[in-house]
Structure 1
């Protein structure tokens, strides 16, 4: 082919081909620059420089390796003393708990370099050492360390499998990126338990001092019991749960007391941890180096982990919607730290999985418990009432509607108590409409029925009120959760307390209509009676706070109206317009007259309202045996609420005449002190 000079023009490089190596020039120029200092030309920003790289490159943010971060190559067979092995095993528990606390595997578990060198410490692949140091025997690495690392990875595997069921959400609740590192997905857990036992036997037969033997065995046995907890089928082996928890707690106490906080500066054990390991792993999360907490905090985290595992055992042994509902709601009402994502996912799976409730009941069981625990009437009794009243063609339809809708509502409702707080709030917002749709369907059908006697008529009315009860309870939780999550601006708080008081008023009216119908010897009657006292106290508190916080409203009415529409969009859904009126209707125009009447009532006393609410709460603190294990949590919740009332009572006006002298800054909303109501500034 003939040479064509114009052909090379397509490959011409700007500046020509005569390049000069300027590396030394840049090296010399950078000597006077500080670390992380950047020189940019005029008009050329750091964003322009970053845009030159491939977008999405996972290692783009890995950063520069500083001189103090450089480490010698890791040798997994470096001999270690028994106390150094114990230190590493303690760090493995800390790393595992940090993953459960929300960090990535690359920031926690994978920072232990033995995880990436498991084949290198397999004794089957190694030549026996002839001159083994008796103080640093190789089997501490190839048997003890290997068994402990395998146990840790298998525990993470069990947790990862549960977490990946989408009961909780990756990135939002937990970090699931494995970075292409094996969690021993194909290894049988019983084999690892056998290896842990074998390692303990080898330690006991060794010539190590007794103190070191006990320390090593305690840590291996702690790992073993944790692994056994993970692999338990709680629906079938709940009895073994308590034994494992007791043993684990005893071992944790022994490990806590024998922990060594620090090692000599030249100890090779420190090289087994690399907080910058994410630089060498394929991952798609921003790389961030984090410090592990003190071991005392790790032990506290494991103890809390065990405590919640015990609560799961109580839940499994409590086939009751009321108890599950109480257990979930008390965590939010007491503003406790949420459980680990693994355990929240496990609770949801145990409640309903593979079309079975608690592994033993068909979904229709939910319908029967729903009615019996809400209004004290069995589903059979309710069906008989419908059959006696409805035309023959509607009997099957009504039963289908009840079972299908209630099951569809109850499963996610119970599970939502183990969502993270924002997701739970969003779910309850949607649920308010679903409950009202169920009420509307029942109302339309019942309107066509002709009860043959007053007793049947009472049952049909009670069924309608049941759907109202659950809708109003969901509405209450949505409004209160806004305070807990600090969503309300100061001028929104009086309106939130006002609307909540209206919800509570309708809820109390609904309970008053049900109590004469509910059999007095049922848990439903005792629960409704308790809720009547509880909600009355809440309404008194809310009404008093409306008068005290009215001074927060400083914006124009138009601004307040727009905020109200956005904040309560869950009750302004257009679907409500197609249904029966959902009391209380969110009418903001009803707020100013109520507020004006309240402020002009010279005889109204906020302090007296708080005192009355406190008296009601103290009277309600009787044994709550119908909610089982969570009765003590209820009593604590009432105690906290009564304490807030007592503080507010002593610091608020005794009449509205004194309101102008009240300083609004006295009230402080601190969720850690109380999630919903203010406390008094000391």
Structure 2
């Protein structure tokens, strides 16, 4: 072990010699005795050692930590400045907790919050420590009651523990056992009255905190599913209160922006025990979390309030179509906090009711009827199908409110379930038609006779899941840029199949709607509106197909030019690296990667999965054209897509316009980017005049030459002789010579910036689609 002098010379973090502490601790132990806190049982300790749980090491208490702990004094008189510092720090703790930290890392670090013996003078005007009892503790108690309501929502388990919320804190303390809602509101009113008598910026900021906390507590007290189902009018009151809170919070951030930006981290000593987890080591989270800064905490609060306003939008939706668009939009909002996502799930499908009014069993019947279909009464068999389909549809909506990685994983797993449900629905459609029309099985199986309403709707939903799951990989950076050609080719096939299916549904849509009033708990959708809904779906899917086709052409051209390279193709440092490169470029290896990337779709009955051989054949067709033509054709495809969307714009209204506008933005942005790429005949460059096949041959020749050069360089020849051998071999290889000339033209265009390509996603618009940029 290095001595203290050697440690002092080492660079890095500060070192502390704990040799003396260890010796003193060891001397105080008996034979076989363990050092452990009283709250950590022997089973917990041994389990932690067995799995090497980092929670076992809770950190040591330094002299500074001990000094900080000993300075805690609950009876310390507080000034307004001290009170404001504690309130700001507690607010940062609360917002950090909302950002998936644990209570032990945030709220419970405040000793005013966790003390077992709070003062009896809380809220009393006769207190001699008024800032503490009339201002600070009312805010602390109100914060606890707010956290209780959020905690109750988390206990519904709509979001996942350890991923979104840390529910391992068995020690829960929220002051609800001592103070009621009316008590907390009364104390906040008294705090407001007291601060009105004080002067200065600190008093103004504390008064704003009290006012915002009061509104926040009132919102959380009524904004949960059971309360809204019992009193629907509470929604408008809660949303009005929330909008008022949003305006007040924005005004506070604007008025005190300088204070928020320069808020001090250090303040009243001893109030916050950052190592309080030592008291509860078995409950401590594995991942350490640092508190949000005050400016970050206010940003999180603004995001939380704006997210909760989505509840009003959700409960105002009048069709299943608008629900699909809404939840797809929610899934793309990466900044939604776990509490917002959990509340949306509770309001949407709580206690067996959809949107607090409609039984889940009738949800699918309404969905099919809205798309022009008929759900005929067929006894228990039809009822069981509707229940199963409703469960899967509700589960999918719930999945769209989960964190982004889980959304895609579950969606790709659900596709197989929807495929099985489609097969069941087809048999049910045949049975219903044969029973009602007294038709033969052959006639009932004919799509020209039987509309297949149940299986058509299921197939539509399955295609929605397939397209969404595939494109969500762009948002999550699942795909590397060299994989874009195969991804967009597969996506174009899915959207094309979806477009054909919607065209068939539109042609067979009935004009008469079901008369069962239980399906229309909100507003009846007419036959004309059903056709308009199908037309909207058709417009969006057609635009997605065109967009995928254009991006497929662009990414294939970039891949052939070498602008998109796989990780193994970015270096030529050694023979081993070049050998790996050659092996990865073989067709069997490419086929294995293709099968792995699209394994979720490979066993589906419909649409027909894109086989690797078909993908290669399609790629070869593109390679027959000059690379510059691929850019030009992609620009024309996007121009046609934009023109079609312009004509369809009037069909979209409330509930569907956001889905249209976000996709329209991606189409226009990529159209503008492609307009910066000059056509090959204007550039006159052989780089773009070459076909994809020629580019592939050139790249293969360059790779083979690099491998041969590496083998030659590793031999026993002298450098001069090896150099002469390289020149002789290069002169004999006309293909390699042409390849070097072509690569020089490509490098010249790239270095001049003409073909400098990059891609990104528009997180605030439609992050499932990439935006290419050319400079």
Of residues 512, 535, 539, the one that matches 1:530 is: 539
- Number of the residue aligned with 1:80: 78
RMSD value, Cα? 3.7
- Number of the residue aligned with 1:89: 87
Indicate whether 1:151 and 2:137 are aligned.
no
CA displacement 1:7-43 (0-9 Å, x = unmatched): xxxxxxxxxxxxxxxxxxx9x9657644547999xxx
- Number of the residue aligned with 2:56: 60
Q: Which runs of 5+ in 1 are unaligned?
A: 1-25, 41-48, 133-137, 388-394
Indicate whether 1:470 and 2:453 are aligned.
no
TM-score, structure 2 as length reference: 0.71
Deviation at 1:266, TM superposition (A): 12
Deviation at 1:610, TM superposition (A): 3.0
Of residues 219, 225, 236, the one that matches 2:209 is: 219
Determine helix, strand or coil for the equivalent of 1:679. strand
Indicate whether 1:191 and 2:223 are aligned.
no
Q: In 2, are the aligned partners of 1:121 and 1:141 still within 8 Å (CA)? A: no
Q: 1:283 to 1:638 in 2, by over 3 A?
A: farther
- Number of the residue aligned with 2:369: 372
Task: Quote the Cα distance in structure 1 between the aligned partners of 2:101 and 2:375.
Answer: 50
Task: Quote the Cα distance in structure 1 between the aligned partners of 2:386 and 2:131.
Answer: 60
Determine helix, strand or coil for the equivalent of 2:676. helix
Q: In 2, are the aligned partners of 1:505 and 1:539 still within 8 Å (CA)? A: no
Indicate whether 1:616 and 2:625 are aligned.
no
Deviation at 1:535, TM superposition (A): 2.6
Task: Quote the Cα distance in structure 1 between the aligned partners of 2:265 and 2:219.
Answer: 37
CA displacement 1:484-511 (0-9 Å, x = unmatched): 2122244433222221121112111112
Which residues in structure 2 correspond to 1:326-337 (within 5 Å)?
Answer: 326-332=325-331, 335-337=332-334
Which residues in structure 2 correspond to 1:352-363 (within 5 Å)?
Answer: 352-363=349-360
Q: 1:77 to 1:618 in 2, by over 3 A?
A: farther
Q: In 1, are the aligned partners of 2:413 and 2:600 still within 8 Å (CA)? A: yes
Q: In 2, are the aligned partners of 1:462 and 1:517 still within 8 Å (CA)? A: no
- Number of the residue aligned with 2:569: none
Task: Quote the Cα distance in structure 2 between the aligned partners of 1:623 and 1:652.
Answer: 30
Determine helix, strand or coil for the equivalent of 2:451. helix
Of residues 112, 115, 133, the one that matches 1:114 is: 112
- Number of the residue aligned with 1:415: 398
Task: Quote the Cα distance in structure 1 between the aligned partners of 2:308 and 2:356.
Answer: 18
Q: In 2, are the aligned partners of 1:99 and 1:105 still within 8 Å (CA)? A: yes
Indicate whether 1:670 and 2:760 are aligned.
yes
Q: In 2, are the aligned partners of 1:667 and 1:679 still within 8 Å (CA)? A: yes
Q: 1:85 to 1:658 in 2, by over 3 A?
A: farther
- Number of the residue aligned with 2:297: 298
Deviation at 1:239, TM superposition (A): 0.7
Q: 1:213 to 1:347 in 2, by over 3 A?
A: same
Q: Which runs of 5+ in 2 are unaligned?
A: 9-13, 20-33, 36-41, 510-526, 567-583, 682-687, 696-744
- Number of the residue aligned with 1:439: 422
Q: In 1, are the aligned partners of 2:98 and 2:338 still within 8 Å (CA)? A: yes
Task: Quote the Cα distance in structure 2 between the aligned partners of 1:430 and 1:262.
Answer: 45
Task: Quote the Cα distance in structure 2 between the aligned partners of 1:675 and 1:356.
Answer: 31
Q: Comparing 477-486 with 554-563, which one deviates more in the overlay? A: 554-563
CA displacement 1:547-605 (0-9 Å, x = unmatched): 325535752222222222322222245xx5xxxx3212241111111110111035953
- Number of the residue aligned with 1:16: none
Task: Quote the Cα distance in structure 1 between the aligned partners of 2:417 and 2:264.
Answer: 63
Determine helix, strand or coil for the equivalent of 1:668. strand
Deviation at 1:462, TM superposition (A): 4.2
Indicate whether 1:600 and 2:609 are aligned.
no
- The number of aligned residues is 616
- Number of the residue aligned with 2:729: none
Q: In 2, are the aligned partners of 1:85 and 1:140 still within 8 Å (CA)? A: yes
Q: Comparing 524-533 with 144-153, which one deviates more in the overlay? A: 524-533
Q: Comparing 91-100 with 438-447, which one deviates more in the overlay? A: 438-447
Task: Quote the Cα distance in structure 1 between the aligned partners of 2:591 and 2:262.
Answer: 63
Q: 1:599 to 1:234 in 2, by over 3 A?
A: farther
- Number of the residue aligned with 1:6: none
Deviation at 1:312, TM superposition (A): 1.5
Deviation at 1:128, TM superposition (A): 6.7
Deviation at 1:162, TM superposition (A): 1.0
Q: In 2, are the aligned partners of 1:275 and 1:290 still within 8 Å (CA)? A: no
Task: Quote the Cα distance in structure 2 between the aligned partners of 1:287 and 1:445.
Answer: 51
Of residues 529, 547, 568, the one that matches 1:521 is: 529
